[in-house]
Chains A and B, each alone.
Chain A
Amino acid sequence: MIVNGKVFRYGDNIDTDVIIPARYLNTSDPKELAKYCMIDIDETFAKRVEEGDIIVADKNFGCGSSREHAPLSIKSAGVSCVIAKSFARIFYRNSFNIGLPILECEEAVNNIGAEDKVQVNFETGEIKNITKNQTYKAEPFPEFITQIIEKDGLVGYVKSKIKD
């Protein structure tokens, strides 16, 4: 799968409280959540984001609570991929479980700027910066993660296990 989009660039330790503040957790409707995505760090994000756009951030993205509402709000806002130097562990597993692809790639993060146009190939782990004409290489997904992704997230994976 290949995705294309413009980049929203953030720093270190973007926590789940700024991705989706608790005051909006009284619903689990993804469309509602998308409206408030990133609101406490970037008020205009929800208005500016377009289908396919990509979030690039430094280290420990998604730290804080276990709320799946965080990756859900990002996914339903239209974001196709998050690239960071590292992810907080619950955010990491939640993202795969709900089908939001995320990649760890220090080189990409160091070179990509806000508004850059970027293309990501999940099969090869190749990240192309079209604006700067550069290519970076991320680690491909571990085999177990690929199995979950192939089943379109953990729901599909468990479904296939229950049927067995």
Chain B
Amino acid sequence: MGMTMTQKILAGHAGLEKVKAGQFIEIDLDVVLGNDITTPVAIKEFEKMGADDVFDKEKVIVVFDHFTPNKDIKTAEQCRFTREFCNKKGIVNFFDVGEMGIEHALLPEKGIVASGDTVIGADSHTCTYGALGAFSTGIGSTDMAAGMARGKAWVRVPSAVKVEITGQPAKWVSGKDVILHIIGRIGVDGALYKSMEFTGDGIKNLSMDDRFTISNMAIEAGAKNGIFPVDEKTTEYLKEHTKKEYKTYKADEDAQYDEIIKVDLSRLRPTVSFPHLPENTKTIDEVEDIRIDQVVIGSCTNGRIEDMRRAANVFKGRKVNKKVRTIIIPATQKIYLECIREGLMEIFVEAGAAVSTPTCGPCLGGHMGILGKGERAVATTNRNFVGRMGHTESEVYLASPEVAAASAITGKISSPESLK
């Protein structure tokens, strides 16, 4: 019996010929990531473990993004504590205000992750790097501490769900619609404990940014990771971004899958996920008159340059509705700069949107756009749980940048197709 792509990477990093689903193994790590919320907790555990130095000063990555630039004294103290640790331990890849971006947009951009890598991150959306053909998964702070100390993590080898992608997406359909469609079909625990293995010849029609968006939300289906095969677009991306040597893994022909899901991109429609679970999806055609108070375009799901371009494409020459607070957050400094150079910033500001420095901010209800009682937002983020963006009686609707931008203009959930 063959192995899936995920299983092969795991076996390769555990020094084993073969692994099988359900087996507990210990793997060597190429990247250990933490942010301003999870790293302070990890540092305390790291110290309790009796570790002196981190296992590798270049492979431990710390990014301040959730509550940064710091929103209050408590978050400033957490960052101060973490900053001191990073400096003392000589962490090379420590990204503070001015350099930082939302971690899952930042790491690929900086060339920190390459295909075939094993990555753990004390943040659930660490699964994003599956787009590069890496094994990449979210873990907690204690796991991060153990990873920092020993460069190892325990893993239960996952079984797999295979997602076969065919076709070409229509004009207003992008990565976000693909993943929302899948989650709508299989549910928020549809891939629980499993790896999602994306395959099929439709993948070539998905850009790297689309793939990042898709892998990013694998966790919203309960998956351990969501991985893409390495093709020309991947190697092109890696050539541009990293100097790391990397290895590519391929699933065996006879690999076993628990389930196969087929997705024909040409049949997808812009998709919206209704409160309060990502699985509550509707196509834009099924959405009735839903008035909104806020739009957020950004996050580790949809804050990349293509997302910015897609939004700008809709905003160009138009104004946002007076009743809609529109907040746009390029995910990294590089993307921010690209927005300026490409003239997108002008389009956003002229349309009447607020543009912020990179931060997670409103995505987790942290700061920079919190919802009040009864308010509704369309957001390009990834979670619409109760209270996720603020008051427990507020509502978050998840959508693509295209739909979010169109909704900002009309004041209700709208398709860009409907704009005059």
Contact = CB atoms under 8 A, between A and B. Distances in A.
A66 B122 contact: yes
B202 interface: no
B41 A28 contact: yes
A40 B385 CA distance: 11
Interface string A78-118: 00000000101110111001100000000000000000000
A28 B139 contact: no
Given A63-B189, A66-B139, A162 B224 contact: no
A159 to B, nearest CB: 5
A125 interface: no
A150 B243 CA distance: 42
A162 B142 contact: no
Given A94-B140, A155-B45, A159-B49, A40 B392 contact: yes
B40 A28 contact: yes
A64 B124 contact: yes
Given A27-B74, A93-B139, A155 B145 contact: yes
B141 interface: yes
A93 B140 contact: yes
B24 interface: yes
Contacts of A161: 150
B310 to A, nearest CB: 26
Given A26-B72, A162-B49, A144 B222 contact: no
Contacts of A2: none
B365 A23 contact: yes
Nearest to B41: A28
Given A67-B38, A154-B142, A40 B386 contact: yes
A60 interface: yes
A144 B154 contact: yes
A145 B22 CA distance: 13
Given A66-B140, A158-B146, A60 B189 contact: yes
Interface residues of A, number: 46
Interface in A13-60: 13, 15, 17-18, 21-23, 25-28, 40-41, 59-60
A115 B48 CA distance: 37
A154 B50 contact: no
B101 interface: no
Given A67-B37, A89-B222, A158-B149, A17 B388 contact: yes
A97 B140 contact: yes
A89 B142 contact: no
A92 B155 CA distance: 12
B182 interface: no
Contacts of A59: 189
B397 interface: no
Nearest to A17: B385
B142 A153 contact: yes
A134 interface: no
Given A26-B74, A144-B154, A90 B149 contact: no
B168 to A, nearest CB: 33
Nearest to B388: A17
A109 to B, nearest CB: 14
Nearest to B126: A66
B364 A22 contact: yes
A157 B146 CA distance: 9
A113 B336 CA distance: 52
Given A26-B67, A26-B75, A28-B41, A155 B124 contact: no
Given A22-B366, A28-B40, A89 B50 contact: no
B248 interface: no
Given A65-B383, A93-B140, A155-B48, 16 more contacts: A13-B189, A13-B277, A22-B366, A27-B74, A28-B41, A60-B222, A64-B383, A65-B364, A66-B121, A66-B138, A71-B140, A90-B138, A92-B193, A97-B140, A159-B49, A161-B150
Interface of B: 24, 37-38, 40-41, 44-45, 48-51, 66-67, 72, 74-75, 78, 121-124, 126, 138-143, 145-146, 149-150, 154, 156, 188-189, 192-193, 219, 222, 224, 277, 364-366, 383, 385-388, 392
Interface of A: 13, 15, 17-18, 21-23, 25-28, 40-41, 59-60, 63-69, 71, 86, 88-90, 92-94, 97-98, 142-145, 148, 153-155, 157-159, 161-163
Per CB-CB distance, the 6 closest pairs between chain A and chain B, nearest first, are A94-B140, A144-B24, A26-B74, A68-B140, A97-B142, A60-B189
7 contacts: A13-B188, A22-B388, A26-B78, A64-B385, A71-B140, A90-B138, A144-B24
